Structure 1
Amino acid sequence: VIIIYRSNEARYNHPDLWPSANFPTPWPNTLSPETLIDKLNEGLVTRNPTYGYVSQVILTPTVWFVCRYLLGNLKSKCVLPLDKYKFNWINLQKPGPSGVNIIISDFVELQEYQFCKDVINLNLKLLKESIIGNQTDSHNVIN
Structure 2
Amino acid sequence: MNARDLVENSRYRCWMGDLPRPLTQVPLSCLAIPGSHDSGAYGLDKSAGVSIDEPKSVSVLGSLCCGGGLSVISRWSVTQDLSLGQQLEAGIRYLDLRVCIKPDTADAHFLHGLYGSKVITALHEVIEFLVRNPKEFVILDFNHFHNMDDISHKQLLSDLKRLFGALIVPVNKHMSPWQMTLENIWKTRMRVIIFYSDKSSADMKEFWPNYAIPSPWPNTSDSRVLIDFLERNYTGNHRNSDGNFYVWQGVLTPGASTILAHLCGSLKDSIAPRATRAFLEWVANKEPGSRGINICLGDFIHLHDFIPSILRLNDKIQPRQ
TM-score normalized by the length of structure 1: 0.79
Among 55, 58, 61, which residue is 2:251 paired with? 58
On the 8 A contact 2:276/2:299 being kept in 1, the answer is no
**Counterpart check, 1:48 vs 2:185:** no
User: 1:86 aligns to what?
Assistant: 279
**Counterpart check, 1:3 vs 2:140:** yes
1:62-111 deviation digits (Å, cap 9, x = unpaired): 11111111111111110122343122112111101111111101011113
CA distance in 1, matches of 2:267, 2:260: 12
1:35-58 deviation digits (Å, cap 9, x = unpaired): 101101112222212132111100
Q: CA RMSD in A?
A: 1.9
SS in 2 for 1:40: helix
**Counterpart check, 1:123 vs 2:314:** yes
Cα 1:129–1:15 shift into 2, 3 Å? farther
Q: 4+ residue runs of structure 1 moved beyond 6 angstroms?
A: none
CA distance in 2, matches of 1:116, 1:130: 23
Structure with bigger strand share is: 2
User: 2:113 aligns to what?
Assistant: none
SS in 1 for 2:248: strand
Among 216, 219, 225, which residue is 1:29 paired with? 219
Structure 1 unpaired stretches of 5+: 132-143
Structure 2 unpaired stretches of 5+: 1-92, 94-138, 144-196
1:129 CA drift (Å): 3.5
Which moves more between the two structures, 26-35 or 45-54? Answer: 45-54
Cα 1:4–1:10 shift into 2, 3 Å? farther
CA distance in 1, matches of 2:307, 2:200: 28
Q: Give the aligned length.
A: 128
Percent of aligned positions that are identical: 30
Which moves more between the two structures, 98-107 or 8-17? Answer: 8-17
CA distance in 2, matches of 1:39, 1:123: 23
On the 8 A contact 2:202/2:209 being kept in 1, the answer is no
Among 252, 260, 264, which residue is 1:67 paired with? 260
User: 2:173 aligns to what?
Assistant: none
SS in 2 for 1:36: helix
CA distance in 2, matches of 1:80, 1:28: 16
